[in-house]
Structures are given as structure tokens and as C-alpha cells.
Amino acid sequence: MSSWFYLELYNSEVNSDMVFRHTPERFVNNQTVNAYTTAQNKLLTDFDNRLKQYFDNNYIVTADMDGILRYENIFDIKFNVESDSREFRKARLFNKLAITSPFTYTFILQMLHNLFGEGNYGFSVDYNEMEIHVDINTDIPQLFNQTIEDIRQMIPANMMMTPSYIEPFTLRYLNVNYTNEELGQFTNGELSQYS
């Protein structure tokens, strides 16, 4: 069959009479041709589904689990089947693509700001000691671990990194999030009245 047929097949929905529409009229009532076109329809429907899956798996946004697994193998990403959702795995792939930039102070600050928001992270570089300090305030431990792993891959090998996980604490009465450092200004008596 010619290539225009496959192009039309891909651009349109496959229905049961796809091949019948392209059969010459003199063969329409022929029993042998009808059996052949019925079998051909099944093959073309399968071909269309596989072609659509192939095109969808070329993009992370539209990829199914097989496509996501292929990208994870390419980037050597380890995943946990029980705890990692499909959307989390896609987000991790997007993050992996986004961190291909070399280490710059501004790039990491921007990345932390985009992920955690203003005031929910701390980042400093001690150039004399070749140390990086990262403080992250989040209630999602997986995001913290993934971010630290990504930063480790971006920074030069001769720099040490000291990450710290600051779990937010919510005072129920005030319904305000405080970090552990901010809670240090209150006495136990003041805090006990809100719990």
C-alpha cells in the first residue's frame, strides 16, 4: 500500500471499514477480498495503536509507563514502584533535564526558589572552605532527597555539601508555618498553649 494510506491512517481514527473505503468497487462484494480486508483492518488498527504509542513515548508529557521507564533508564534514575507515582516520576525526569546546566550560584538559587518558594530554603557557599550549605524547609521528604541529589550532581567534585532538612511545624491555633529556628524564640510554655 502507498504511504498516503498510512499517513491518512495515522491522521484519522481507525474504524472498522478503513480498508473497505479504499477497496475498488468491483471487489467490494467478493468474499475473499472481504476476508482479506477484515484481517487487514485488524493489523492496521494494531499498527495505528503502536504508532500512536511510539509518538506519545517520544515526549515525557504524553509518555505511558513504558516510555517513562525508557527515559529513567537513559538517565540512570532509580525508582520505587510502590511509592513513586507516575506524575512524580515524570516530574523527576523534567527536573533531570532542567539541571543539565553547570553549577552557578544564581542557577541553584533560582532552582530552590522555583521548587520551595521564598523563605523556604537557605543556600550559601563558603569559597575558602570549598563548602556549600543547603537548608530546605519542606514537608515532602522525597522532594528534599531528590533536590539534594540533583545539587550534588551539579556542583564541582571538590566541593563539600552540608544539607539540612527543616521540617515545617504548624501551630494549630495560629495556623502559621514556623521553621525549627523560628520556634527557638518561643518558650515551652508559650508553645504549649497552642498545641
Domain of 78 in residue numbering reads as 60-98
Q: Would you state the pLDDT for residue 3?
A: 46
Locus of grid cell 544539607: 163
Q: 177 and 113, same structural domain?
A: yes
pLDDT by 10-residue block (mean), the chain, 195 residues: 48 55 74 79 85 89 90 85 84 79 79 85 89 85 84 82 70 53 66 57
| Cα(135)–Cα(122) distance, integer angstroms | 5
Backbone angles phi, psi at 142, to 5 degrees: -65, -40
Is the pTM of the predicted complex or chain greater than 0.75? Answer: no
* Contact by Cβ (8 Å): 12, 22: no
- Beta-carbon count within 10 A of 89 CB: 20
Q: 77 and 49, same structural domain?
A: no
Instruction: Quote the number of domains for the chain.
Output: 3
Q: 86 and 68, same structural domain?
A: yes
**Is the backbone of residue 175 left (phi > 0), alpha (psi -120 to 50) or beta?**
left
Q: Would you state the pLDDT for residue 192?
A: 60
- For residue 104, tell me if it sits in a domain: no
- For residue 103, tell me if it sits in a domain: no
45 in helix, strand or coil? helix
Length of the chain measured in residues: 195
The full 3-state SS of 134-153, as one line of letters, equals EEEECCCHHHHHHHHHHHHH
